[in-house]
Structure 1
């Protein structure tokens, strides 16, 4: 074994312009640490296990090696560096693990530490904080027998060693020595792939796409779905209409159907004394009816869509009876429509015009069938509306005036605020649910009637028919006013007025009018 010592190597000065550190006057403290192979062999020979040494109170870590060597001359000089704390001594402190033979090692160990484990509470030393176990199922680390070793510049750190005969001490110290004093090494980087990489992280691995906003729905469908429904439905209707036209044309080409058309041309003669022509008051009634019906349908659809009204109306004599401004507008239009209808019925029977829209013979039904077949075959009836309507028109006008209009009025009155709600017997006899189930289909009937009516008016002689309805001009000669544009321009003016009323039907315009009849508020 080699022995030897060397002086302390001096480093950089601690202050600017000073001497190298440590000063030359300070005596280098050599710390002898026995070589590891000798210590291991000695420990194996004597059957001893080194004990762990805990950190000191000042945060200094004492190095203690418990071993025996055949010769005390095996020492390795330990180089000391900077102090661990401000104003402290160079690190490590003067800790020397003596190398001696077996008897001398036993004597030194007995002088440094007791033969049995001691606790920090026995000598007043601070206790060691214990943490998680180092092995699965083990005790908390460090063991309970570890104490803080007091270190001085001249004294070595405590080295706990058990004598060969002290079996109890060896049994308690040995498990602590078997546990590693250093934390487990963290897992290193992954090993490189043994095959070429073929899969790569996609865009979603580093970027999460923004959720798409929910499409706005109009009823059960979105705008795109409604457009698709209209397109597909329109194509289907056109196909069905084409097939119907071909089928009816084939049917009317048969001899039996030709005789049917000759017997029932689509119209029958009116009773004697029936008026000829359309009076001016009937034209104005027709315009007012269209104007009010369009606004009634608009306000009715708004009521069905409106969930939280923004403006309310209450009558002056009942401030608590609030209702939405839209419902008030709808009911006000209903009252005006009923007044116009009542005037129309009175003038209709007073002037004898009722014979034009009220069936007066059973021939109306076969003639209505004949007219319907002619319409479907696109070989439309050529009656003169100034004198007489065809049977299908007569039935349609009769159903609208004397069936659909009263149903709309009765069901609307049941759902309005004018219904006597306190009359429980009357309310039970006529439930509001029945009124709601009838009122909306009646509105749909009016919509379909208006669409078909306008299409047929424009398709069966637009100028002549518009002169009849808006200008009250006509003749028994169907070609007399076929080139007159008066009725057409009056029809255009009426459309402009209706469109302006449609746009103006909003709270900003309706609120001042509603204040004339009640109180308007935002709640």
Structure 2
């Protein structure tokens, strides 16, 4: 989801220098640009030097870079959090005030927030949705981590290049990419495979009837459900039998709108997309970037609201339904959920350059 292509090419040797510069920053006419470690050839007799150029060898640590980023963004984060809290409180007060109006009360009574399921709709949540929940959350965590690394625009700690002796040869020369972009693309490919299996199972088992709206009554009922959630008086619902209309629209949007946009824009920003030709003109990179990052934010917002509602509307029963395919109040679903969280946290912590380089070396050449 929030990936970008950052393909750095080898530059030509710098004339007039007689040293090997590693991870240096070259200042040419006052503009900083990262330069790859390379051998610097000595100047031949009679060659001139590049004017206004200085070379430094300082390389800030990643921890220092992260601390600097947080220091620069701290005020923005604090202000954003404060505004969000105030806005949320205002929404709650407005919703509670609206619910006191007779017309709004009549609207909620007419449209309680749930459209009865169509005839033949399955009851219950199958076991395959449990591992789908875990895999989708697991890959989303890694996509967010690598996406944030890519958006930081820091120099990657390593670069991967396809090894043509291990992969089918292509007409194009291998393109080098940062190690986090390499991981981002692999995770996105696995996430797409999980998504395809989900859609196939969705239609093969009839579960699509639970998340695809087929009655326009879903619109006023979703407004009613949203108003009830906003007023902190949850709508009555039983997701084991039927989702409320707001849930149905949210799941439909995630599966059939947001996910395809994330996939298509991710492919557009990857090294798979050609560098020139009609496809480049038909789908500009600028448009793909403008869509890809907001979609990631939408996924994060959906996940946050989803988790909050699960934990505040009968956590044990909801977790049993989601992770254990059981409509009970015991602790089995919670145990499975807790184990999945441990795995996701471990993946976030272990996805460090040293380990990623060793894994990536199995499929190509790693430098840096």
TM-score under structure 2 length normalisation: 0.77
Cα deviation code 1:76-105 (max 9, x no counterpart): xxxxxxxxxxxxxxxxxxxxxxxxxxxxxx
1:289 aligns with 136
* Distance in 2, Cα, partners of 1:266 & 1:509: 48
Pick aligned residue for 1:265 from 93, 105, 112: 112
1:54 aligns with none
Change (3 A) 1:304 1:284: same
Contact 1:270 1:360 in 2 (8 A): no
What SS class does the counterpart of residue 296 from structure 2 fall into?
helix
Pick aligned residue for 1:361 from 215, 231, 235: 215
* Distance in 1, Cα, partners of 2:90 & 2:193: 44
1:224-263 superposed matches below 5 A: 225-226=75-76, 229-230=77-78, 232-263=79-110
Q: Does residue 1:395 correspond to 2:241, yes or no?
A: no
* Distance in 2, Cα, partners of 1:240 & 1:328: 39
Q: Does residue 1:445 correspond to 2:291, yes or no?
A: no
Superposition deviation, residue 515 in structure 1: 2.0
1:405 aligns with 259
Superposition deviation, residue 236 in structure 1: 4.1
Q: Does residue 1:498 correspond to 2:344, yes or no?
A: yes
* Distance in 2, Cα, partners of 1:298 & 1:258: 44
What SS class does the counterpart of residue 160 from structure 2 fall into?
strand
Pick aligned residue for 1:516 from 355, 362, 365: 362
Change (3 A) 1:385 1:233: same
2:192 aligns with 338
| Higher helix residue share | 2
Cα deviation code 1:112-137 (max 9, x no counterpart): xxxxxxxxxxxxxxxxxxxxxxxxxx
Gaps in structure 1 of 5+ consecutive residues: 1-214, 475-480
Pick aligned residue for 1:322 from 176, 180, 203: 176
1:374 aligns with 228
Contact 1:411 1:435 in 2 (8 A): yes
Change (3 A) 1:268 1:323: same
Structure with the greater alpha carbon radius of gyration = 1
Pick aligned residue for 2:146 from 299, 313, 318: 299
Change (3 A) 1:455 1:309: same
TM-score under structure 1 length normalisation: 0.54
What SS class does the counterpart of residue 274 from structure 1 fall into?
coil
Q: Which has the higher contact order (CA 8 A, sep 6+)?
A: 2
1:21-170 superposed matches below 5 A: none
* Distance in 2, Cα, partners of 1:216 & 1:493: 31
Gaps in structure 2 of 5+ consecutive residues: 1-65
Contact 1:216 1:222 in 2 (8 A): no
1:435 aligns with 288
Change (3 A) 1:249 1:307: closer
2:275 aligns with 421
* Distance in 1, Cα, partners of 2:91 & 2:294: 26
* Distance in 2, Cα, partners of 1:268 & 1:259: 17
Name the count of aligned residue pairs: 296
* Distance in 1, Cα, partners of 2:174 & 2:243: 51
| Higher strand residue share | 2
Superposition deviation, residue 258 in structure 1: 1.7
Change (3 A) 1:264 1:291: same
Contact 1:313 1:518 in 2 (8 A): yes
CA RMSD of aligned residues (A): 1.9
Cα deviation code 1:455-477 (max 9, x no counterpart): 11111111111011011101xxx
